[in-house]
Every structure is written in C-alpha cells, then in structure tokens.
Amino acid sequence: MKRITLLAITLLYIGVNFSTAQLFPRVDNPTSDDMSLLVLHLASEKADGSGYEIVINNNATGWTPVVEGPNGEIIPFRKYDSAADVNSIFYSENLIQGEYTLVGFYHVYVDYGKLEEYKKEINNPNFIMSYEPYANKPYHIKQLVKLEEPVKINLEAGTIKSLGNYAVKYEWIAGGFGSTDDRWKAKDDVKIVLSEPLDDYIARYIKTWRTRSWKLWNARNSYEPL
C-alpha cells in the first residue's frame, strides 16, 4: 500500500511539474554569469479600436522586433503568444553587455509566387514553410515598421532588461481569404499606435516564470514581480 501511495505521489509530482513547464516558453540556460536577456511586449490594436490582442505569428505572416546589437548585427528574438493577461512576448537570451537599439518591427510574410519557385528549386512540392523571421528565406518579404525614435538601452552584464511595450495597427491585403501571391502583405497604412519605451511591466511579468531555466534567468531580474 505504501509503495502504491508513493508511486501515486511521484507520478502526481512529475505531472504537476511537467504541466507547469508547459505554461512557460523555452529558454536556454545562461552560458555564463555575464550573459543577459532582453524582453519586450508587442500587441495588435483590434479592428474596432476597443483594445489590443496578440499579433498573428504563423508560417505565412509574423512579427518580430528589429534590435541592433553592439556590433550593428540584428539580434534574433523568440516569441511567446500563449501568456495569460498579456499579448505577444519577445525575448532574447545570452546577450553580451553593450548598447542595443530597438529600431522597430518587421512584418515578415510569404510571397506565394516565390514559394512555388523555391519548391521547384529544392524539388519538394510538399514543402511546408515555418515561422522563421530572421532566416532570410527567398520566399519571405520583410516590411520594416520603424519607431519614430529608436529605443536605446545599455545592457549591463548579468541582467534582464525590458525594451518596453508597443502595439501596431495593420490589415493584410486579403489574408487567408485571398488568392494573390501577396495576400498576407500588410497594407501600406500599417503604423505603431502605442510606444512605451523601456516600460518594465513585461520584465515584471516574466519574473513569475518558474521553470528551472527561467529561475536561473530571473535570479538576474531586478524588477519587482507582479
């Protein structure tokens, strides 16, 4: 009986911890004491102007920050669209200290004509594209939506810093209901409708994330948790 009870408790413990892990996104462990992390929040204004929602990030259309690193390189960010009470979270870990500049945001969409050419080139008619905004695929088109003023931050060693809170307003040419090659293109009147540079809300939000890897990062997070 004791063995059965112990087994049940062990399985429950594993199940709870596994379920908890699924609530938070993947992050690599810090590679050294000097490595840091940047995070920001991005939303899309609802069509009726009543509030904000996640930006759509899938294999045909996606958003991502354009952040220049200390050497002028574009820094890749991961995305997380499944958080409660917030919209789209973007973060990048294991960054060296130095000055980082948020220039704006890329809207990356697939051009279906270029996609068909790519399928022929690789001889794979069943190829399925992925969300890869930094991969520079030949069938991707990047639309850069710039901030009025770039946001600069001096990232110190061994820290977590927030680049702020932002929102965009946009419409696709036609989206999933269209048939043209550029149906996922954002119309030319796309704009940033909310800009709160360096706002710390999202850094405070992620401090509640408690997987093993996030605990290691949040030990460097000096913001007060929500």
Question: What range defines the domain where residue 109 resides?
Answer: 27-218
Per residue in 38-85, pLDDT (tens digit) is 999 999 999 898 999 999 999 999 999 999 999 999 999 999 999 988
Asked if the structure places residue 141 within a domain, the reply is yes
Asked if the structure places residue 22 within a domain, the reply is no
> What are the DSSP calls for the chain, one per residue?
-HHHHHHHHHHHHHHHHHHHHHTS---PPPSSTT-EEEEEEEEEE-TTSS-EEPPP-SSSEEEEEEEE-TTSPBPP-EEE---SSS-EEEEEEEEPSEEEEEEEEEEEEE-HHHHHHHHHHHT-TT------TTS--TTEEEEEEEEEEEEEEEE-TT-EEEEEEEEEE--BSSGGG--STTTTPBPTT-EEEEEEET--HHHHHHTT--SHHHHHHHTT--SPP-
Per residue in 76-101, pLDDT (tens digit) is 999 999 998 899 999 999 999 999 99
Asked if the structure places residue 19 within a domain, the reply is no
Domain count, the chain: 1
Per residue in 88-139, pLDDT (tens digit) is 999 999 999 999 999 999 999 999 999 999 999 999 999 999 999 999 999 9
Asked if the structure places residue 124 within a domain, the reply is yes
Asked if the structure places residue 6 within a domain, the reply is no
